[in-house]
Amino acid sequence: MNMVGVDIGGTFTDLVGVIDGKIVSSKTSTTPSDPSEGVAHSLQLAHCDLPGLGELLHGSTIAINTVLERKGAKTALVTTKGFRDVYAIGRGNRIEAFNLFFHRPKPLVARHLTFEADERLDPNGRALKALENAEVELLVKDVLASGVDSVAVCFLHSYANPAHERLIGDALRRAAPHLFVTLSHEILREFREYERTSTTVLNAYVGPRVRDYLSNLETWLRGEKFVGKMHLMRSNGGVMSALQARAQPVSMMESGPVAGMIAAGILCKQLGIDMAIGFDMGGTTAKSSLIMHGAPAVEEGYVIGPMASGQPMQLPVVDIVEVGTGGGSIAWVDATGGLHVGPQSAGADPGPACYGKGSNTPVITDADLVLGRINPKRFLNGGMSLDIEASRAAIKAKVGDPLKLSIEEAAIGIAAISDTAMSLSVRAVSVNKGVDPRETTMIAFGGAGPLHAVAIAREIFIPRVIIPKLPGAFSALGMLMASWRQDFVRTLVGRLGRLDHATVENIFRELAADAEAQLRLDGIPRASAKLIFNADLRYVGQEHALQIPVSDASMLTGDVSKVRELFHVEHDQRYGQAAAEEAMEIVNVRLVLTAPRADTVAERSMAQAWTPTDEAAETSRKVIFNDPLKPLDARILWRPALPAGFAFTGPAVVEEPNSTILIHPGDKVRVTEAGHLVIDVAFGGAQS
Amino acid sequence: MNEAQAHPITVEVVRNAIVAYADEMANALCKAAYNMMIYEVRDYCCGLIDLQGRMISQNRGGLPIFLADLGIAIEDGVRRWGLDGFAPGDVLIMNHGETCGQHLNNIVIYCPVFHEREIVAFTANRAHWVDIGGARIGFGSSATTEIFAEGIQLRSLKIYEAGKRNETLWQIINDNVRFPEASLGDLRAQIASCQLGARRYGELLARYGRATVEACIARVWDQADLAVRNVVEKIPDGVYSAESFLDNDGRDLEKTLRIKVTVKVSGSTMSIDFSEMNPQTNSPINSGRSGGIAAARVAFKALTSPDLDVNEGCFRSLEVILPEGTLVSARPPAALGLWSIALPTTIDTILKALAPALPDAIPAAHKGDMGGCSFYGVNAESQRFLLMNIFGGGWGGRPHEDGEDASVSVCQGDVRNSPVELQEIRYPFLVENHKLRENSGGVGKYRGGLGVELTYKTLVPCQVNINFERTKLPPWGLHGGGDGGANYAIIHFANGAESKRVLKGTQIPLQAGDRVAFFTAGGGGYGDPNERTPEAIETDLREGFVSTPDAAQ
């Protein structure tokens, strides 16, 4: 089947497709006013014709940008009486502890558009105060009179019993079919009212805009005779139908960045790598993610926007740790002589000093150029020539002179500081899950990832680095490999060993029924779907829970020794201790519903035998690694010309159309049968 | 220190690494902890300490008042055991009141770090245990008069000796605290956190060598010191004083407690003088020296280097003048159970003193207390329970914008209130409302933030501790702004008895169906209320932050 993935980012629209078994790709500027224009243009560039496509995968920043720019719908919120301000109060915390001028999250719904319903449930879902029809009618009238385009409904304890939310939801949908209605239990059936309210409001806030965007795109696609399926990339690392995206747009917040980690996971599976760290470095940030058993870790929730003042979103999201270090990150010296890199970025315009657009602010790319690590003539496949003298001047003026360092020393400093920042972030990804980086392999991609990967691996003793094929377009490639996925959750609090079997059994049954309904809605055969149940468990008294896979209800209600054992092991691995004798409790039951891709052509292409696509003679040039006074003669290789089985030892630079790979002295490199580069890192090498 | 060893690049590597280690320690502690004072209130700190007790680095996101004060615990251990009295695998436990100056619930755990068979540093953390024994459950009682009634004291004792657990000591702790599963669970998490930090720091030393790492640390401190001095230099030289007061000591409810500070700025140094503070009291509202130092340091840090990571260098240009025997430098055997109560007001008073000199850098007063409640009793399954929650309140109006609503105090950072749904799942209570307290923000060009209203109805007989402060001196306005609404609580009785306004009380008995409503303070206003823009007034009225036009102006 022919398919393409189109990732619309803030600056570029990336396309990767598999057409008649061959990989195609293109990169164009994003057209913010009409994204479908960008889709059309990138399809043209890659010579794909829409009628021949079986599937179009799409990743977009529309949802997250709507929130960050606060350009969402006029939204109302309906809450339980007495709890109108739960959303405004939040958790009361101040993350910037010493900042007297701190800002907490600013609600997306005005207080005068927050309505209270006279109803109340207890934690078991029993109605302490039933929601009367008269009250529903009154509320619907008030909401409609307020002139909103979207409504979020979140009642206390609705995770335990959604009946009241349904009453008001049905009435609103009946009364105003155009209104975008989001009920909290349809998004997230999990306790903690503030986080659930915030997630529900986010969905309501972005809903109308995403709905319109998808409608326009679909209309255009139909006009172009596209008859295949369209899927949207979502934060949990899976894809969903456009139908589902309309109902749950909040789940596409991190649509773009997660796909590269999915591809890295699949590569790990193909290569039999059990523990890896995916590392993606682009222009403004570096992202890393722990990949265990062929899949990146997925966390429940994160914050959209700045940590201290962003909006909490409690749906599953691929656990990506981001640090403000990218090729365009600015190097600067503070008043006390401390040298820093990032988080400010020069962006694409004016960009690095070496772009020759008049900037005299040094960035990481300038340092890489001065050190001889980047080829000024082959940047962006030769599409842009770089001005090394501009880089030297900027580094001298802004870093070298203030710190009394030579230009080369300063450039090494910039590279070293950014490598340290990234390596700490990469390490946090592993050690916070109790994994020793020395037992992992790094999969590096993104425009700048392969240039810095080995230096980071050296810092934290990762013994092997793999640079996959197509590292510069790896994220778009990942979309073509992502499974269809939907997550479900039910709160169930109780002591392990004392749980009522019928209650637990019922929750498993309900979750399975929800799964089947979702499959029917998206036309996915039940037989191809996979259901994985997880239980959030903890020692009694703890707050933070760990997810433990459970096959069925009896694992939680019958002989619980198996699940206890699994928990002890996980706890010991993460926190360095376990308490074998202690009582344990369950908090939530989760269900991950996935359906694999019908066509694995993209995966197969990654494993396909590699043959060189180009010829180029090997050259050499001086590259500075650790000693500014002793540049080393490095082999300069053109990746498209390297045959499978080719092996060499660093120092070397491997160049390819959209990326550059730096091989440090003593590192041993081999091109695999499939064309990936495997680098065995030489610790304590010649100059380290 | 050899300057050549502190290459600017290596300095940056070390700067980042030492904070990352402390953060890793905090993550391990917080995630595995057993009590909400750690996992929600983040009443902990983790760090690396040098052999002289100086703070090499401290985690981000812990309690602000734990500012570089782990060293005193370790200095005590070094005095007792001698530097050669530590072995690899030792773990020490410490909460001695006189030395640490805080309530005994705050347990310090520390481990020696060895490099090439030599002791080179310590890793340490402090975490608030839910109970430490003594006459009253949990903490927050205002009934004690000396430290001995407040629980068990442990002074630099080896809970592990060369890797072997001291079973006697473990048993003593187990038998003397009310919730041993929780406390020993927290203890395990604390130990694992220290051991993790020790491993990490050891790796750094192995990589660069001790001399280089220590030279880099010294350089990091110097840079912090220089950055701070640059800010202090810009404050006009002078002597600045301010005074405020607390309601009472919780025992003698008529007598207020004086908070008086004098700040002297001279060139690039600042001194904060507590000589005129109220003497220590015969109640648990005292702290040891660490309380006064914490208050001075929080105010100083907020003014000079809010964004810098915490280390010894941040406070080199600060002198704290703190004679013995005051409310924030109590002598033994003073009770310390409510050691932190005076700190938010003390910090606000330091800021108030400097307000005339720094009109653009200092907001009006915030809610001014630690803001929490605790209910305890026995639930329907005959299990003992202790419900604790922390409330936010209003922050003062600021030079260019309104104060924030419903936020925790200046002494608390990433501290979270407890979700209503979680409380109702766990405890026999029905929460009747959780809302912003309208009209509680002080008027001004920039209005004070709003406090919170939160009402609990108990479903079983139980007891409650209420510890509201600053009910007689509401959060003050600045530069013409008005005061915020003061803290208070009301108890409504199910049996029809007259409702009672309560500001402080310990072990107040409640029957099933009784309700306790908490109202937290709003922030003070900033600037002349007549200068408030019509748009801002209209928003206040439309959104219901203010209910009448009168109140808006």
- H/E stretch holding B265: strand B257-266
pLDDT band (50, 70, 90) for residue A348: low
Residues of B in contact with A335 (CB under 8 A): 226-227, 230
Residue that is written with structure tokens 């003669």 in the block: A633
- H/E stretch holding A169: helix A163-175
pLDDT band (50, 70, 90) for residue A427: confident
By DSSP bridging, strand A275-281 and strand A441-445 are parallel
Distances (CA, A) of B405 to A261, A555, B92, B241, B441: 39, 46, 41, 28, 9
Q: For residue A120, give how far its alpha carbon lies from the nearest alpha carbon of chain B (Å).
A: 10
The tens digit of pLDDT for each residue in B254-286 reads: 899 999 999 999 999 999 999 999 999 999 999
How many Å apart are CA A565 and CA B155, to the nearest integer? 36
Residue B35 has its nearest CB partner, among A88, A413, A541, at A541
Domain boundaries, chain B: 3-221, 363-553
Residue A156 has its nearest CB partner, among B32, B417, B421, at B421
Residue B20 has its nearest CB partner, among A97, A192, A424, at A424
Across A28-37, A220-229, B393-402, B433-442, least confident range:
A28-37
Residue that is written with structure tokens 């365009």 in the block: A328
Cα angle B204-B210-B211, degrees, rounded to a multiple of 5:
130
Cα angle B488-B493-B496, degrees, rounded to a multiple of 5:
130
Query: In this predicted structure, what is the pLDDT of residue B382?
Result: 87
pTM: 0.91
Label residue A673 exposed, middle or buried (CB < 10 Å: 0-12, 13-18, 19+): exposed
Percent of chain B whose predicted confidence (pLDDT) is above 90 = 78
Residue B435 has its nearest CB partner, among A85, A123, A128, at A85
Report B:455-514 residues touching A (Cβ under 8 A). 455
Label residue A345 exposed, middle or buried (CB < 10 Å: 0-12, 13-18, 19+): buried
Residues of A in contact with B440 (CB under 8 A): none
DSSP string, A508-561: HHHHHHHHHHHHHHTT--GGG-EEEEEEEEEETT--S-EEEEESSTHHHHS--H
Cα angle A217-A592-A255, degrees, rounded to a multiple of 5:
30
Residue A339 has its nearest CB partner, among B8, B27, B36, at B8
How many Å apart are CA A249 and CA A204, to the nearest integer? 9
Residue A420 has its nearest CB partner, among B13, B222, B392, at B13
Token digits of residue A58: 């799409």
Residue type at position B82: G
Token digits of residue B75: 């200095």
How many Å apart are CA A395 and CA A370, to the nearest integer? 9
Residue from B540, B385, B528 nearest B445 by CA = B528
The tens digit of pLDDT for each residue in B214-245 reads: 999 999 999 999 999 999 999 999 999 999 99
Q: What integer is the mean pLDDT of A72-85?
A: 98
For A371-509, strand residue ranges (E) read: 441-445, 464-467, 484-495
Pick the CATH number of A484-596 from 3.80.10, 3.90.25, 3.30.2310, 3.30.1490: 3.30.1490
Q: What integer is the mean pLDDT of A251-272?
A: 92
Hey, what's the torsion of the CAs at B341, B343, B346, B352, to 10 degrees?
A: -110
Report B:521-540 residues touching A (Cβ under 8 A). none
Residue that is written with structure tokens 């309601």 in the block: B247
How many Å apart are CA B41 and CA B373, to the nearest integer? 13
Is the separation of the CB atoms in A26 and A45 below 8 Å?
yes
Residue type at position A72: G
* Nearest chain B residue to A402, by CA: B8
Task: Tell me B426's DSSP state.
Answer: H
Task: Inform me whether the C-beta atom of residue B359 falls under 8 Å from chain A C-beta atoms.
Answer: no
Residues of B in contact with A156 (CB under 8 A): 420-421
- H/E stretch holding A127: strand A127-129
pLDDT band (50, 70, 90) for residue A29: low
Answer whether residue B553 shows pLDDT above 50: no
Residues of A in contact with B196 (CB under 8 A): 576
The tens digit of pLDDT for each residue in B329-373 reads: 999 999 999 999 999 999 999 999 999 999 999 999 999 988 888
Query: In this predicted structure, what is the pLDDT of residue B551?
Result: 52
Label residue A390 exposed, middle or buried (CB < 10 Å: 0-12, 13-18, 19+): buried
Report B:388-427 residues touching A (Cβ under 8 A). 390-392, 398, 404-408, 410, 412-417, 419-422, 424-426
> Does residue B148 sit in helix, strand or coil?
helix
Token digits of residue A500: 């009522």
Is the separation of the CB atoms in B350 and B242 below 8 Å?
yes
Query: In this predicted structure, what is the pLDDT of residue A678?
Result: 98
Greater pLDDT, B121 or B7: B121
Is the separation of the CB atoms in B217 and B14 below 8 Å?
yes
Query: Strand order in B488-492's β-sheet?
Result: B429-437, B451-458, B515-519, B488-492, B500-502
> Does residue A76 sit in helix, strand or coil?
strand
The tens digit of pLDDT for each residue in A47-66 reads: 888 999 999 999 988 898 89
> Does residue A599 sit in helix, strand or coil?
coil
Is the separation of the CB atoms in B305 and B314 below 8 Å?
yes
CB contact under 8 A, A111 and B13: no
Task: Inform me whether the C-beta atom of residue B545 falls under 8 Å from chain A C-beta atoms.
Answer: yes
Residue from B87, B110, B81 nearest B163 by CA = B87
> Does residue A321 sit in helix, strand or coil?
strand
Task: Inform me whether the C-beta atom of residue B183 falls under 8 Å from chain A C-beta atoms.
Answer: no
Query: Strand order in A55-60's β-sheet?
Result: A22-29, A12-19, A3-8, A55-60, A229-233, A239-241, A484-495, A584-595, A530-539, A546-550
Q: What integer is the mean pLDDT of B197-201?
A: 93
Dihedral-angle region of residue A94 (phi above 0 means left; psi in -120 to 50 means alpha; beta otherwise): beta
Greater pLDDT, A578 or A108: A108
Query: In this predicted structure, what is the pLDDT of residue A686?
Result: 35
Token digits of residue B88: 């690899």
Residues of A in contact with B426 (CB under 8 A): 493
Answer whether residue A667 shows pLDDT above 80: yes
- Return the axis-axis angle of helices A133-145 and A163-175, rounded to nearest 10°: 50
Token digits of residue B187: 């203890």
The tens digit of pLDDT for each residue in B528-548 reads: 999 999 999 999 999 999 987
Query: In this predicted structure, what is the pLDDT of residue A609?
Result: 94
Residues 6+ apart with CB under 8 A from A527: none
The tens digit of pLDDT for each residue in B2-28 reads: 455 677 778 877 888 899 899 989 988
In a mutational test of the B interface, the residue from A80, A86, A91 whose CB has the highest number of chain B CBs within 10 Å is: A91
- Scored b (16 or more CB within 10 A) or e, A200-217 reads bbbbbbbbbbbbebbeeb
Residue that is written with structure tokens 């120092």 in the block: A651
Label residue A127 exposed, middle or buried (CB < 10 Å: 0-12, 13-18, 19+): middle
- Residue B399: cis peptide before it, omega within 30 degrees of 0: no
The tens digit of pLDDT for each residue in A496-545 reads: 989 999 999 999 999 999 999 999 999 999 999 999 999 999 988 788 89
Query: In this predicted structure, what is the pLDDT of residue B549?
Result: 58
In a mutational test of the B interface, the residue from A398, A575, A624, A688 whose CB has the highest number of chain B CBs within 10 Å is: A575
Residue type at position B385: F
The tens digit of pLDDT for each residue in A544-601 reads: 899 999 999 999 998 999 999 999 999 888 887 888 888 899 999 999 999 998 888 8
Domain boundaries, chain A: 68-210, 329-417, 484-596, 619-680
In a mutational test of the B interface, the residue from A77, A93, A191, A426 whose CB has the highest number of chain B CBs within 10 Å is: A93
- Residue A350: cis peptide before it, omega within 30 degrees of 0: yes
- H/E stretch holding B354: helix B343-354
The tens digit of pLDDT for each residue in B297-311 reads: 999 999 999 989 999
CB contact under 8 A, A157 and B421: yes
How many Å apart are CA B173 and CA A121, to the nearest integer? 41
Residue type at position A356: G
Answer whether residue A155 shows pLDDT above 90: yes
Greater pLDDT, A572 or A384: A572
Residues of B in contact with A428 (CB under 8 A): 20, 23-24
> Does residue B387 sit in helix, strand or coil?
strand
Q: What integer is the mean pLDDT of A112-131?
A: 97
The tens digit of pLDDT for each residue in A443-497 reads: 999 889 999 999 999 988 899 999 999 898 898 899 999 999 999 999 999 999 8
Is the separation of the CB atoms in B364 and B521 below 8 Å?
no
Distances (CA, A) of B290 to A447, B43, B294: 51, 16, 6
Query: In this predicted structure, what is the pLDDT of residue B514?
Result: 98
Residue from B56, B58, B74 nearest B66 by CA = B58
The tens digit of pLDDT for each residue in B442-492 reads: 999 999 999 999 999 999 999 999 888 999 999 999 999 999 999 999 999
How many Å apart are CA A341 and CA A327, to the nearest integer? 11
- Residue B323: cis peptide before it, omega within 30 degrees of 0: no
